[in-house]
Amino acid sequence: MRITQASQLLPPVQRGEQLTVTINGQPVTAFAGETVATVLLAEGRRVFRHTLKNGDPRGLFCGMGICYDCLVTVDGAPNIRACITLVTAGMVIETHSEMRL
């Protein structure tokens, strides 16, 4: 769920152009200028993948592309950092949260 106004003292949130992206086969609304992580979080997804060794859940951690916890597959390309990748119209995003590796 996206906020529309951060505070009554601030103006409404300005958003970019409305886009449609696909997350794990489901079309969802995104806005130009948002990162893949922003869209995933707005859709209520907190787990983006599980670790190979123990199957531990991973999601957004550092938010600036350093830790690699937010890896997803974008348009068929694996291991894309969701926190620094901007969405584009028609983008296909796949998390690895539905299966334990």
Domain encompassing residue 63? 18-94
22 lies in some domain: yes
CATH number at residue 34: 3.10.20.440
Q: Would 3 be classed as within a structural domain?
A: no
Residue 86 near residue 35, CB atoms below 8 Å: yes
Residue 99 placed within a domain: no
What is the Cα–Cα distance from 101 to 56, expressed in whole angstroms?
Answer: 10
Q: Please report whether residue 49 resides in a domain.
A: yes
Q: Which residues face 48 on adjacent strands?
A: none
Q: How far apart are CA 45 and CA 54, in angstroms?
A: 20
d(CA 12, CA 95): 31
Q: Is residue 2 part of a domain?
A: no
Has residue 44 got a pLDDT over 70?
A: yes
Per the structure, how many domains does the chain have? 1
| Average pLDDT of every residue of the chain | 91
pLDDT 10s digits, 48-84 = 999 888 889 999 999 999 999 999 999 999 999 999 9
pLDDT at 100: 42
What percent helix, strand, coil does the chain show, rounded to 5?
A: 5, 30, 65
